[in-house]
Amino acid sequence: MGQLKATTSETVVLGGIMSNPCFLLDLTDLKADFFSDQVNRTLYIAMKRLFKKGAKTFDIADIYAVIETSESRIERLKRYGGIEYLEQLKIVGDGKDLSEIKIHASNIMDCAYKNEISEVLYELQMYVSQADSEKRNEINKTIEEKILQVKAKYASGHKVELISTKTDKILQQLEENKSGYIGFETSIPLLSQFVTYRKGELVIYSAKAKVGKSQLVVNEVYNMSILRGIPVMVLDTELQTKTFVIRLLARITGYSFKFIEHGEWKKYPGCIKKIKEAKELIDKAPISHTYIVGWTEDEITNEVKRMKIQYNTQVVIYDYIKIENINGKTQEHQLLGNMTNWLKNGIAGSLDMAVIALAQMSDYISEERGFKIANSEKIKNYASTVIYLVEKNQEQYSRDYEEAGGNAYLYVDYNRNGPQMKDDMQDRGINIVFQKNKAIVEQARWQLEEIEALLEDHEESFEEYISEDGEVSAEL
């Protein structure tokens, strides 16, 4: 296969830079080795050197002076016509604006990328055909490394843009929000008034061991994907997919895990029908579940990117934040903090997705410090919101009218996107009914007045501040 060339685009870009060297400030992704003709590559390097030294304008004599310091570069330029070639470039680029130059620069990069990826694919084809002793995982690793190297080379760098380039999109998103909520609602209506799952944000649920964090995940997947069709990706360090599906079947049917897992449902025609209907709902829902023990953060990030592109995945659930092995001098709390930072910024922020993560809650609760995430306070520092899932003791259960007030509650803390509960209220919260053996989490019928009062204090009514012509009073 012959090499693709973007000769015309190369001459336009070089001529444009000769006319306006400041174009180089907007061509930071364009590398010299992307030019297919060696003389053009040489001229591009020469212009960048001059600009780096402070030149605001380029004379042909200035460029030639850089070239003539090397006999090989002079010979190369002479084969293209010498000074006359530089004069032709100047004419071609004269009057070109930045938008035109960018189009041609993109064409240069596209051709270079296609040439390089073709070479890499050919090399990989030869490697695979001769890889007699390598295992499949080794081959996959080699292929991924080679492809990622090319992708990284041609990835566009970070750029600062005027905010005016984004306002249309932001206003469109605001106009499309008809639900009254920003982001995706939780399964608990009262909780959604405190927090929702927003893109770019990380919500953490924390509970003690064996309280039912994984069942909570199943309930949220049911709420979002089964009931509302939101594409959700579950990254699981706890449950294999078989176990997850059993629990999701339980959530849909209302049967217990044991009833489903032991096959008791097969004895009853009505149960068989209900299981089949639940299975059809799962098959239609945009849910992915992966058991990720042994995966690296880079591998997970790449899969999340792929799922977003291929299946429009909107929400990622990570169950749960923990460190499998601790080596070297880095302490566990630092590693857990780093992992949380990756979920918040590397996944939620960079990929514009809503992320929900689970974390272990410390068994030790003092009156002074209250609820605490186990092993690392850094986790809460990176989170957008922390929600504690707490089982009620007998006193709390009786106080809250038993079944009417539910057997557990949710305490909202460290909430940057809404109200949070007071430190002296940690023995109460949003009352829920938690059926762990069926992965069912529902809002209890009875709620404490103190919790509802928090929302009323936080609510804003704007009508009294806005006039008919849209004027706003000083109070607002």
Query: What is the token pair recorded at 26?
Result: 């907007």
Q: What are phi and psi of 183, to 5 degrees?
A: 90, -165
- Average pLDDT score over residue span 306-322: 91
What confidence score (pLDDT) does residue 379 get? 83
- The DSSP output letter for 373 is B
- Asked if residues 257 and 245 have their Cβ atoms less than 8 Å apart, the reply is no
At 160, the pLDDT band (50, 70, 90 cuts) reads low
Q: What are phi and psi of 441, to 5 degrees?
A: -125, 120
Residue with tokens 């596209």: 110
What confidence score (pLDDT) does residue 59 get? 86
- Asked if residues 378 and 333 have their Cβ atoms less than 8 Å apart, the reply is yes
> For the chain, how many residues are written?
476
The residues, any chain, with a CB within 8 Å of residue 278's CB and separated by 6 or more, are: 248, 249, 252, 253
Query: Element (H or E) spanning 434, and its range?
Result: strand 430-435
* 94-to-7, 57, 67, 177, 414 alpha-carbon distances in Å: 17, 13, 22, 47, 57
Task: Give CA–CA dist 422/28, Å, rounded.
Answer: 50
Rounded (10°) CA dihedral 78, 80, 81, 82: -50
For 212-269, write each residue's pLDDT tens digit: 899 999 999 999 999 999 999 999 998 999 999 999 999 999 999 999 999 999 999 9
Select from 435, 427, 345 the least CA-distant residue to 390: 427
Residue 376 pLDDT greater than 70, yes or no: no
Residue 313 pLDDT greater than 80, yes or no: yes
In percent, how much of the chain has pLDDT > 90? 53
Task: Give CA–CA dist 165/384, Å, rounded.
Answer: 27
Task: Give CA–CA dist 204/355, Å, rounded.
Answer: 9
Residue 330 pLDDT greater than 80, yes or no: no
Number of H helices, E strands in the chain: 20, 9
- Give the residue with greater pLDDT, 98 vs 171: 98
The residues, any chain, with a CB within 8 Å of residue 224's CB and separated by 6 or more, are: 184, 197, 230, 232, 315
Least-confidence region, from 39-48, 55-64, 249-258, 344-353: 55-64
Residue 153 pLDDT greater than 50, yes or no: yes
In percent, how much of the chain has pLDDT > 70? 90
Domains and CATH numbers, the chain: 7-154 (1.10.860.10), 181-458 (3.40.50.300)
* 70-to-48, 62, 77, 85 alpha-carbon distances in Å: 17, 14, 11, 18
- Average pLDDT score over residue span 110-138: 89
Query: What is the token pair recorded at 297?
Result: 């953060």
The residues, any chain, with a CB within 8 Å of residue 365's CB and separated by 6 or more, are: 371, 372
Residue 377 pLDDT greater than 80, yes or no: no
Radius of gyration of the chain from Cα atoms? 30
For 415-469, write each residue's pLDDT tens digit: 988 888 988 888 999 999 999 999 999 999 999 988 878 877 666 555 666 667 7
What confidence score (pLDDT) does residue 35 get? 94
pTM for the full predicted model: 0.69
Rounded (10°) CA dihedral 198, 202, 208, 209: 100
What confidence score (pLDDT) does residue 135 get? 81
DSSP helix/strand/coil, 335: helix
Residue 184 pLDDT greater than 90, yes or no: yes
- The DSSP output letter for 324 is S
- Average pLDDT score over residue span 134-162: 80
Rounded to the nearest integer, the mean pLDDT of the chain is 87
Residue 82 pLDDT greater than 70, yes or no: yes
At what angle are helices 269-284 and 241-253 packed, to 10 degrees? 120
At 366, the pLDDT band (50, 70, 90 cuts) reads very low
CB half-sphere exposure, 226, CA atoms < 13 A: 20
At 1, the pLDDT band (50, 70, 90 cuts) reads low
